Amino acid sequence: MTTAGSVTAPPADVLREADRRRTFAVISHPDAGKSTLTEALALHARVISEAGAVHGKAGRRGVVSDWMEMEKARGISITSAALQFAYGDAVVNLLDTPGHSDFSEDTYRVLAAVDSAVMLLDAAKGLEPQTLKLFDVCRHRGIPVITFVNKWDRPGRDALELCDELVERIGLQPMPLTWPVGEAGHFRGVVDRRDGQFIRYSRTAGGATAAAQERLDPARAEAEEGAEWTRAVEELDLLAASGGDFDLDRFLAASATPVLFGSAVLNFGVRHLLDLLVDLAPRPTPRPDVDARPRGLDAPFSAFVFKVQTGMDPSHRDQVAFARVCSGVFERGMVVTNATTGKPFATKYVQQVFGQQRSTLDVAYPGDVIGLVNAHSLRVGDTLYTDKPAVRFPGLPSFAPAHFAAVRPADLSRSKQFRKGIEQLGAEGVVQILRSARRGDGAPVFAAVGPMQFEVAAHRLDAEFKSPVRLDRLPYTVVRRLPDPAHQPLVDNNRGEVLTRADGTHLALFPDSTALGVLKRLHPEVVLEPLVAGTD
């Protein structure tokens, strides 16, 4: 270890370790089965012995990636979670994401930290609004997408129809690697396109353990499955004729998507998906810095923070900053520099994360996700590095808020806890915190992409900081950036209000477009810039 806290390792070792990493996100519309699939993947990797995807059954534990009390109570993911495990010679970094559109900002940050994504489609619903948005984000970022059509054990749509929808609605060529034998709701198994064999699945009790599977040659499959097998083979021939054969280059270029069929809750088709990720998913590559210069994987250590989370360990309420390693070797105890502040940060407490479970981490390589504990000085978007020259990666976006609420402590004797909780929620990005001299520090404003963020913030202030709050929804529906704060009085006097975000941006809020239009007509000198969702 050098005096700067960096670790010097042979470039060949770093590149070899990076080549073992597969870092991907699981994304979809709400209720498509992301957390269930996440657990099924861990089950097939043999890092858990029994899945707990079916809630409410005696003796069954909850989904490993859903650890917040609200997640357990509602049965939905409202925050992203990281899981790392080995599968064969590969090291898998799996990031489960919230599906609800109100938490899309968290999902978009996670997408900045991965090399590929698994998109779940509900067999009965196909492409839903949030699915379409996430596909667009992946395309914009050049993230290769693997599509897993889930819930084939339940009644749903025709498989060819779902593939046609991928082409017609998002221009993504489907390349099925497995194909269902039996229509949705009568799932018999899949055809493995690599060898033409039939893989027949057997149910286990409640899907708690890995499903047994049996391989049959085509002749036996035809004899035992009859018309269902014949139909599946004919459909595959149609797909092949329409350009549906697998092309690795098109997948890596994010212009085509491998498609697999299965049922996460029954563990059908999950092993295929895991094997595909290990075999075909992209490895870490050099990440461009703010000047668009790629930083080599074997350059000195660098990473960027994509998530900050408090409350994962209720007994300590420590803060964990999740960082994606971009280059070099990370070693616990090294001193790194925060490019945002220029200040050093000691990495004495670093953990490998598996849902809510954590263990001490000593070494990490490009593609790994590390959890920096007691990281109160770190913020989302920070770059960490060792050695000169300094490096800084592009920041992560702050979304244009659409909902606003003034927040006050319900119990004034808990004001200290209230202020601490507000600061923490802002650091994590649970909500954006807006302030103004007129309202004072005792009455900040929550700004959110969706109203469920208010529920999460209020719940966490009460549960974690013992500071119940009152939320007063504000009537603003239009938000603009105000470059010159000297124009604030003009906004305030024309049915608007100017509030300042934590990054120093001044936001002008209006109840409707009419109020904005009146201000522009009366004071054309006031410059107001639009905020575009997904940008700061």
* Residue numbering of the annotated binding site: 96-100
CA distance 192 to 524: 65
| DSSP E strand boundaries for 131-207 | 145-150, 173-176, 178-181, 189-192, 197-202
CA distance 263 to 162: 16
CA distance 427 to 432: 9
- The H or E element spanning position 373 is strand 369-373
CA distance 173 to 250: 9
Buried b (16+ CB within 10 A) or exposed e, 93-116: bbbbbbbbbbbbbbbbbbbbbbbb
Q: How far is CA 431 from CA 102, 444, 531, in A?
A: 11, 11, 16
User: Hey, is 77 helix, strand or coil?
Assistant: coil
CA distance 300 to 298: 7
Cβ proximity of 407 and 443 under 8 Å: yes
- The H or E element spanning position 499 is strand 497-501
CA distance 343 to 33: 42
From the annotation, which residues make up the binding site for GTP?
96-100
Instruction: Give the long-range contacts of residues 237-240, CB within 8 A, separation 24 or more.
Output: 238/160, 239/160, 239/163, 239/174, 239/176, 239/179
CA distance 358 to 309: 13
Residue appearing with tokens 């039939």: 198
Q: Which distant-in-sequence residues (6+ apart) come within 8 Å of 433 by Cβ?
A: 422, 425, 426, 444, 445, 446, 447, 501, 502
Tokens of 53: 């995807």
CA distance 374 to 370: 13
Distance from CA of residue 132 to its chain's centroid?
A: 15
Strand 445-448 to strand 432-435: parallel, antiparallel, or no bridges (unpaired)?
antiparallel
In single-letter form, the type of residue at position 164 comes to: D
Tokens of 116: 């590929």
Cβ proximity of 321 and 113 under 8 Å: no
Cβ proximity of 402 and 462 under 8 Å: no
Q: Is 199 exposed, middle or buried (0-12, 13-18, 19+ CB in 10 A)?
A: buried
Distance from CA of residue 67 to its chain's centroid?
A: 15
- The H or E element spanning position 492 is helix 488-492
User: Hey, is 488 helix, strand or coil?
Assistant: helix
Rg (CA), the chain: 25
